[in-house]
Amino acid sequence: MKSKILAIVVAAGTAVVGSLFSAPAHAQLTVNQDVDVEINVPEVLFLRTFQTVSLDISEADLAGGTTGGVGQDYNSTPLTDGTTAIDQTSPFGGVTGGPITKTVNELYAVWSNNPGGAAITLSTVNTALTGPGTATATIASITSTGTDPTAAIGLDTPYVGGADIEFDLSTAMEAGTYTGGVINVSVATP
């Protein structure tokens, strides 16, 4: 019985080994190729500003930085015999000395993906400010406090700019709120 089993095992092993060597070889075939991918991103431009700029003119602004709004001093000629003229030079040199400049640290934010950056222009649309009664003031000028970006700003972090606004208060005879002035922020891409 042992010899029959041994003969069957030997015969089976020979058949398996023989079939391995006599079977035709099958090679695995593989092909691959890179494919280029591209996207087209449109140019965008977005401007954010404040709706209103409300600035406080301080007593020091009115006085040219030298005194407050309430004060006193003596005449440059301290003694009068009743005929000496009093010095009529205004202690409010901020008003008489020219425009008062107020800085707006952050007036606008710009997002743009233009590779050439952006040109930002600040201008006045209406320079007249009307106050109480017949009092008026004027926006004398507005200038940017920043430098225009010359490269793409990006769509995540904006370019933020401010302005210096000069006010002529020589006809602002009354205290109060003066309204009606309009400025414009314009952004253009090259």
Facing residues of 142 across strands?
165
Taking the CA atoms of 9, 11, 14 and 19 in sequence, report the sign of the dihedral they define. negative
- For residue 142, give the nearest of 155, 160, 126 by alpha carbon: 126
With cut-offs at 50, 70 and 90, classify the pLDDT of residue 126: very high
- Encoded tokens for 91: 């202690």
With cut-offs at 50, 70 and 90, classify the pLDDT of residue 71: confident
The pLDDT of residue 145: 95
- Encoded tokens for 128: 């007249």
Checking DSSP bridges between strand 182-188 and strand 45-49, what pairing results, if any?
unpaired
The residues, ordered by sequence, that sit 6+ positions from 179 with a Cβ below 8 Å of its Cβ are 129, 130
Measured CA to CA, the distance from residue 45 to residue 99 in angstroms comes to: 34
pLDDT digits (tens, 9 = 90+) for 88-122: 988 877 777 789 999 999 999 999 999 999 999 99
- Encoded tokens for 48: 């954010």
Checking if the pLDDT of 11 tops 60, the result is no
Q: What is the mean pLDDT of residues 120-127?
A: 98
Facing residues of 128 across strands?
138
pLDDT digits (tens, 9 = 90+) for 45-68: 999 999 999 999 988 888 876 655
